[in-house]
Structure formats: C-alpha cells, structure tokens
Amino acid sequence: MKLFKTISELDQAEGFPVPEHPLLSLNQLTNASPLEKNMEFACDFYIICFKKVKSGELLYGQTKYDHNTGLMFFTRPNQALTARGLKLDEKGFVIHLKEDFLMGHPLFTEIKKYNFFDYENHEALHLLPREKEIMWSLFHKMEIEYHNNPDEFSKPIVLSHLDSMLKYVQRFYKRQFIDRKSLSGITVTRFNENLRLYIEKREAEGKGLPTVNHLASRLNLSPKYLSDLLKQETGKTALELIHLYVVNEAKNMIVEGGLNISEIAYSLGFENPPYFSRLFKKEVGISPKEFKSRILN
C-alpha cells in the first residue's frame, strides 16, 4: 500500500496539477478526470470528496463506497483507501488538507470533533439538489481565494468557508438520519437485539462488557456512525444505551436474588465490583447494596 506523505505526491499520482500550496489543494473533477487507475493508498492528510461514481470501486477499509447515490465522503489522515477503475457520473471536487494548515485557527480543534471523518464509505452523505448548490458555492468561494492573488487574508477566508462547509455537512447528516427514519428504527432494533443476545449468551463473562465497537461490527457500521444515528433516534449514544441496558439487567438480577453483588458484576462483564457500583449509582442514583436493601424491605 502506498502512503502519500505530501499532497503534491497524491495530486500528481491522480493526474492533477501541482498544488499551489503545500498544505492544501482544491481540484474539480469531471467525467474526464484521470481516476481510472487502480490504487491502494493512505494519506497523511484529510480528504473531503464530492463525487458521484458511475462505475468502478472505491473502498474504505473493506467496505464499498455506496456509489449508487452516495456523494460526499470524508477521511482522516492515515485511513486506507482503494480505488479501482473509477468513472464519474457528474462533476465533483476533492479537497486535500494537511492538519498544519489549520494551526492558529479554531478548526484545528473543531475538525477533530466531526464524527463523519470516521464514518465508513457506505455511510456517505447523500445530498439533495439544494444541498449540492450550497457545497458548490462554498467550494467556489474557496477556489477564488486559493487561486487569485493570495495575501494575508486568503487563509482565514478559505478556512471560514471550509468551516461553513463542515457545519453544513453536520446539518445534512442529521437530515439524512431523519429521512432514513425507517432504516434508523431497524438499526435501533438490531442494536438492542444484539445487546440482548450478548448478555443472554453469557458472552460478557468471557469478553467483558459489550462495547460500541463490537456491536457496530455486528451491524456493519462504524462505531461513530452508529452512535450518531442512535443519538438522533433515541437521544442517547450507543455507550449510554449499553450502560442503561446493563444496569437494568443488574437491577433485575438483584431482584431475583440468586447472586450477590460481586457475582452480578462479573457475570455482566465488569472487571471489578467497584466499577460496577459506580456505574450503577450513576444511572440509578443509589448503590447496588442500597437498591438491594430497599427491595428486601
């Protein structure tokens, strides 16, 4: 696998001109863009890509980019990508961005908070026509500053437009979660079912507490996409839902009375009883011993 450490290396490999700035490149994509070569690669920089793929394959890890309707995807530095014989269905754009370009700007910190940079390619953003116009408008504004007589104001202006673009992406993903409410409901159901089976099959005793990563892999979703989807649908993150489920199981086991507090903790996958007690008290408001005492009384 090829690791591109500089933006210039990747741009030249993809057939684009040498970038005007070593830490940032902006390139438009057309049906004639030279993307058909096969490449397995990772980059030491961010990629923000807007493109509708007509044919070929684009993989992030082992998952395929949903090119039937998918339009935008986002990768952090050092994420593996595979491109095979790509042909585009409509024009698009690609932004390559080194983290160093963000130094001194709030985006240096803010960009790390955007979970969509950790989504899988089959979780791409699907834009509505008006949303496409907004993305193109912001990209063109960035292009103007990038190409035309750069001065001390160019960088902050470019970053202000990029900041707006990422905020719109966040908004559009929330719209996408709502539009796919029926699919979201199925995901919530499957999440709860896998969580139930994990506890019922006593996997916790050998593997520990159920994790977001484990449940996300069962659903073929990235952990952050799953958590964001559940947050939109239920108001709670995947981890919060796991904790609630485990504590409810613990409450039921305390009521049944067959096991003591330590045995319940270990059977649910906790490494030690004190950790179990802290989580229980956080969710219920009282300790497991106090809860048991109230039940007995």
pLDDT tens, position by position, 209-228: 999 999 999 888 889 888 88
Higher pLDDT, 57 or 21: 21
Kindly state the average pLDDT of the residues 287-291. Answer: 92
- What does the pLDDT look like over 47-66, one tens digit per residue? 999 887 666 666 654 445 44
- What does the pLDDT look like over 84-109, one tens digit per residue? 766 666 788 999 999 999 999 999 99
- What does the pLDDT look like over 196-211, one tens digit per residue? 899 888 898 889 999 9
Q: H-helix or E-strand containing 93?
A: strand 92-97
Return the CATH class of domain 182-296. mainly alpha
- What does the pLDDT look like over 263-276, one tens digit per residue? 999 999 999 999 99
Higher pLDDT, 14 or 19: 19
- The CB-side HSE value for 112 (13 A sphere, CA atoms) comes to 7
* Residue 84 confidence (pLDDT): 73
Lowest mean pLDDT of 32-46, 93-107, 110-124, 233-247, name the range. 32-46
User: Residue 121 — pLDDT band, cuts 50, 70, 90?
Assistant: low
Asked if the domains at 2-126 and 182-296 fall in one CATH topology, the answer is no
Q: Is the pLDDT of residue 32 over 60?
A: no
Q: What fold is seen in the domain 2-126? A: Jelly Rolls (2.60.120)
Q: Is the pLDDT of residue 240 over 80?
A: yes
* Residue 107 confidence (pLDDT): 94
- In percent, how much of the chain has pLDDT > 90? 43
- What does the pLDDT look like over 132-153, one tens digit per residue? 999 999 999 999 999 887 788 8
Domain ranges of the chain: 2-126, 182-296
Alpha carbon 128 to its chain's center: 20
* Residue 53 confidence (pLDDT): 66
* Residue 236 confidence (pLDDT): 87
Q: DSSP secondary structure string, 215-254? A: HHHHTT--HHHHHHHHHHHHSS-HHHHHHHHHHHHHHHHH
Task: Return d(Cα 228, Cα 125) in angstroms, integer.
Answer: 14
Give ∠ CA 116-118-123 in degrees, rounded to 5: 60
Bridge partners for 181 per DSSP: none
